[in-house]
Structure 1
Amino acid sequence: MTANKRVSTRAKAVGAGVAALALIGTAAAGASPLASNGNGKGYGKGGQQPRNVILLIGDGMGDSEITSTRNYQVGANGRLNLDTLPSTGAYTTYALQKGTNVPDYVTDSAASGTGWATGTKTYNGAISVDTNGKPLPTILERAKAAGYNTGDVSTAEIQDATPAVLGSHVTSRDCKGPSATTAKCPSNAIENGGAGSISEQLMMTRPDVLLGGGKKYLDERVVAGKYAGQTVLDQGRAQGYQVATTAAEMQAAPLGKPLLGAFAPGNLDLEWTGPTPTRTGTPAQRCAVNAKRNPAQPHLSQMTRVALDRLNSLSRDGKGAKGRGGADKKGFFLQVEGASIDKQNHAANPCGQIGENVEFDKAVGLALNYQKQNPNTLVIVTGDHGHTSQIVPTGSTTAGYTATLTTADNAPMTISYATSDVLTGQEHTGTQIRVAAGGPQAGRVSGVTNQTDLFTTMSLALGL
């Protein structure tokens, strides 16, 4: 397929996908997308049509990561915010081998994100394209086309796999900026008739709120097309974005206009630091706040609060939405990612990993507080794939690397990393992942489902 045909195919696919969802959503036909669940108490399972959907992704957050965070932060008998959602299930996370329907049992974040973003399994490294590289319309694109306001928030680069799958379509997750796309995704490059890099495509998709890192890719020059010679950030401004590069600028940005926050050249800084695991373990100790963290960068909870406030305001006054006005204005779709739970698992950094999970749980708490005040909101909390960290008996010797932390129970907890001989090269695992939800239609996540079923759950919830 030529590059020009790929662009045409993507446009047709988005339109066709919206029409196809009308068939998927037949069971919800006639229900107003703005109806509340009627109980006014929040957290309820509910069965009516939500007005808003908030998806929170803990990247690499499997049951072991949740358990170690719970033990450390609130004790074994305590409960995190993410433990309080009433409907709980599990979903399978496998990817597919490129060009086939053969399972690849250990997914990466690109394939897993494509699964819930598009409802289609794909190969590792693919960003919202199928196993043959064909673009697939995403939940955010469909929500936006239907008049919903949209948001995409991450502690990683906004071009990283999980935020990227919502608003871009490339054959490799490495194609974050124009230069890499020319070299690694030539069919997607603008000079070859493609839609461009992840950065360029996100500017064109233009979620109402787009917050994270990755400014170095936004500072790259566009090499062809309408914005040739300008930076990707210039392209974003031309698309109507106001730009914030610090937490203070983010907080001060006026409402009513799309907001792009780019707070670091790459990923945002870590919340916590602590001991490095060794072959023989470490003394039990507590984690420390990362003294080297750039104070100008926002925390995930701050970005989440800003996104909720802005999307709530847009949905209330109708700015940026295509609703019918008055009480019938559309709500919003928001995805929030705690990205470095995964990244610090790869690095065998238990305090880094747990600190990011604690901050992610604060974001979950904000979403649940919003849901209490707006019970017509569906909140979903899940991970994207399993990871390496395991809680093992204190004092034991494993085949990997261990470190021991002192928990909220004032007890030792030993964490082992043993999926690689290389300390900082730990691997994903192929286990199923917890998925939990609260609000109207939350019961759809119960039982054992497939990662792609989350796309259907969210599509039905938004009445697409």
Structure 2
Amino acid sequence: MHMAKTTLRLAAATGALSLALFGFASPASAAGIDEPGGARQLDGDNTDAIRDAVEDSGAKNVILLIGDGMGDSEITAARNYAKGAHGRFDGLDELPLTGQYTTYAVDRDSGKPDYVTDSAASATGWSSGTKTYNGALGVDRTGKPHKTLIEMARAKGMKTGDVSTAEIQDATPAAQLAHISQRGCYGPEETAKDCADETLENGGLGSISEQILNARADVTLGGGSASFEQKATAGDWKDKTLREQAEERGYQLVDDSDSLDSITEANQDAPVLGLFTEGNFPVRWEGPKATHGGGTEPAVKCKNNPERTSDVPKLDQLTNKAVDLLDNDKGFFLQVEGASIDKQDHAANPCGQIGETVDLDEAVKAALDFAKEDGETLVITTADHAHTSQIVSAGSDTPGLTRTLTTADGSEMTMNYATADEEESQGHTGTQLRIAAYGPGAANVVGLTDQTDMHYTIADGLGLDPDAEVPGGPGDDANGNDDSAGSDDSAGSDDAAGSSDAGGTDGAAGTEDSNASEDANGSSDSAGGGAGANGGSEGGEGNASTGGGDQGPGLAGGGGGTLPRTGVEIGAAIFFGVAAIIGGSALIRMAKRRGILPA
């Protein structure tokens, strides 16, 4: 009886469930937004869709996507410009379960809240579960290192990846790979000046770049090649560049889309290190920055950045390639950052900021497509801190810096930046942030949480052991020596072969309008960085990487058998019929996980 009721309920909810799995909601009406109901986003009652989007915790894989500086204002501005006020993003707006989380840092001396975090403290919060002071990476306010999600996943034998459109030594990606007191200590040279006690020769863990090599994620992709031209000052690679060290330690080095395309597997014997630019990635769109009185000038449209060429992969391409290389029987953890929403916000550059948000949305779409097909992947997207941009009345002449854009609706939208009087100097703000998720354990983001909660949601969902020994991590005697990361064969080599969707047009390397205004301690959150992701994965659920449906029992059609008679059979027939229509491989997997169908 229980099975009959469950099956019938699942059959009745199939339409709503398909919303949750294949595009949670869509604009309800084709009527104009000025007509009654014309601006609705809901298509009827969403209760069943939300109920069925809640899956038990226990994911095989986790993909965490971070929009640096992507507060609600940044999301709204990008949606208005790119999709229209009534439009929807294909990734950011399709994650069914949402909440808000707090991001404050702590004072280094007192431990009291510092209400406006920087990227380093924030990323340390979710990577290690520990609040710290602005500028710190992977250590608490006393300087004690704490294990990160990537380190814990490696210790379990999972594959790991870290992707960013910033320098890979920048705060958000580095927080998964390094433990250091000041975020600006990128290479041995900066570390000798600003983090002297932490150099290898003084018994420390070394610079961020050196720690990245020791952390030995299976896939590390971003900018920041310049720091790898510095030479080690101690250890087995003294007087060799960090790039030479990486090659001798078995890394597969790639520096453009074509060389990334050629990689067919990544593991502990041959991890991939992609360094595509000297600094941050070039941004997608460009346009005039906000200025005093700029909002009263004629509205403008953003333009493609000619410096972004196909040599530098876009963010959705990096995401797809990383997933292809990491996907294996033991599972994986992948962090992906769209870095230059923040950097362009600092620079009061609305076109740069909006283009980077669109790029991140496309990366979220790529991750979501994989998760829907895979059925065992938790996707989470959020930000590290809020930022300065606001949408104000069109044509406003505020005391801040303003610029007016013409949106997808053909309307005018004025952006305002007012946390500083000059461009390049805009600052973070301290509001709570949107967090959204899909997949096993996604319900843990609902309501109000803290960024440190996300650490435990991911760690618990993947079954990570905080006490497991981390190869190459803090306390491992191998740090800084030839065996530092070991080749712990921890994660097989069953990666998918080269499906990087390379392509693309836009972007040369290394344009980096330096903007030292971001967070403390010499971090160059420069204004010119910012990654690309073009609309290559715009199509629906079945992109090239997902292939056809594994149809499961009963979907092949064909004759034979008898007509259903019982409630269970009728419910199952309805369920499978609708599933066949919508290509319901994900529904089949969900039914198996819930015990409705045999595994």
The TM-score bracket by the shorter chain reads 0.7 to 0.9
Q: Does 1:67 align with 2:82?
A: no
Could you list the per-position Cα deviations for residues 411-448 of structure 1 after superposition, in whole angstroms to 9, with x for gaps in the alignment?
10100000001111000000001000000110000111
Identify unmatched segments of 5+ residues in structure 1.
1-37, 316-328
AA partner of residue 213 (structure 2)? M
Could you list the per-position Cα deviations for residues 27-73 of structure 1 after superposition, in whole angstroms to 9, with x for gaps in the alignment?
xxxxxxxxxxx999578331141100000000000000000011011
Q: If the length of structure 2 is used for normalisation, what is the TM-score?
A: 0.68
Which of 258, 267, 273 is the matching residue for 2:286? 273
Aligned to 2:468: none
Aligned to 1:412: 412
The Cα of 1:231 is off from its aligned counterpart by: 1.0
Aligned to 1:204: 214
CA contact (8 A) 2:221 2:318 kept: yes
Task: Give the superposed CA RMSD.
Answer: 1.5
* Length, aligned pairs only: 412
Aligned to 1:304: 319
How much identity, in percent, do the aligned residues show?
Answer: 53
AA partner of residue 316 (structure 2)? S
Rounded Cα–Cα distance in structure 2 between residues aligned with 1:41 and 1:292: 37
Aligned to 2:393: 393
The Cα of 1:111 is off from its aligned counterpart by: 0.2
Aligned to 1:249: 259
The Cα of 1:294 is off from its aligned counterpart by: 4.2
Q: Match of 1:89, SS?
A: strand
Identify unmatched segments of 5+ residues in structure 2.
1-16, 25-52, 465-599
Rounded Cα–Cα distance in structure 1 between residues aligned with 2:219 and 2:388: 32
Aligned to 2:104: 94
Note the 1:155-304 alignment, pairs <5 A. 155-256=165-266, 257-281=270-294, 282-304=297-319
CA contact (8 A) 1:204 1:239 kept: no
AA partner of residue 73 (structure 1)? A
CA contact (8 A) 1:154 1:338 kept: yes
Q: Match of 1:440, SS?
A: coil
Q: Does 1:107 align with 2:117?
A: yes
CA contact (8 A) 2:232 2:238 kept: yes
AA partner of residue 112 (structure 2)? V
Aligned to 1:4: none
AA partner of residue 358 (structure 1)? V
AA partner of residue 276 (structure 2)? F
Rounded Cα–Cα distance in structure 2 between residues aligned with 1:267 and 1:383: 18
Rounded Cα–Cα distance in structure 2 between residues aligned with 1:240 and 1:448: 44
AA partner of residue 117 (structure 1)? S
The Cα of 1:239 is off from its aligned counterpart by: 2.7
AA partner of residue 353 (structure 2)? Q
The Cα of 1:188 is off from its aligned counterpart by: 1.2
The Cα of 1:221 is off from its aligned counterpart by: 0.4
> In the superposition, relative to structure 1, how do residues 41 and 405 fare at CA in structure 2: closer, same or farther (>3 Å)?
closer
Aligned to 1:82: 92
Rounded Cα–Cα distance in structure 1 between residues aligned with 2:83 and 2:54: 26
CA contact (8 A) 1:206 1:239 kept: no
Aligned to 2:126: 116
Rounded Cα–Cα distance in structure 1 between residues aligned with 2:214 and 2:452: 25
AA partner of residue 241 (structure 1)? Y
AA partner of residue 279 (structure 2)? G
Rounded Cα–Cα distance in structure 1 between residues aligned with 2:394 and 2:288: 15
Could you list the per-position Cα deviations for residues 113-138 of structure 1 after superposition, in whole angstroms to 9, with x for gaps in the alignment?
00000000000000010001111110
Aligned to 1:15: none
Rounded Cα–Cα distance in structure 2 between residues aligned with 1:254 and 1:240: 15
Q: Match of 2:172, SS?
A: helix
AA partner of residue 340 (structure 1)? S
CA contact (8 A) 1:41 1:375 kept: no
Aligned to 1:23: none
Higher mean alpha-carbon deviation, 277-286 vs 111-120, is at 277-286
The higher radius of gyration belongs to 2
Rounded Cα–Cα distance in structure 1 between residues aligned with 2:356 and 2:204: 36
The Cα of 1:292 is off from its aligned counterpart by: 2.0
Rounded Cα–Cα distance in structure 1 between residues aligned with 2:249 and 2:354: 37
Rounded Cα–Cα distance in structure 2 between residues aligned with 1:348 and 1:170: 30
Rounded Cα–Cα distance in structure 2 between residues aligned with 1:182 and 1:280: 45
Rounded Cα–Cα distance in structure 2 between residues aligned with 1:349 and 1:48: 40
CA contact (8 A) 2:57 2:442 kept: no
The one of the two structures with greater contact order (alpha-carbon pairs below 8 A, sep at least 6) is: 1
Rounded Cα–Cα distance in structure 2 between residues aligned with 1:49 and 1:454: 14
CA contact (8 A) 2:394 2:404 kept: yes
Q: Does 1:438 align with 2:438?
A: yes
Rounded Cα–Cα distance in structure 1 between residues aligned with 2:458 and 2:247: 30
The Cα of 1:237 is off from its aligned counterpart by: 2.0
CA contact (8 A) 1:50 1:461 kept: yes
Rounded Cα–Cα distance in structure 1 between residues aligned with 2:310 and 2:370: 26
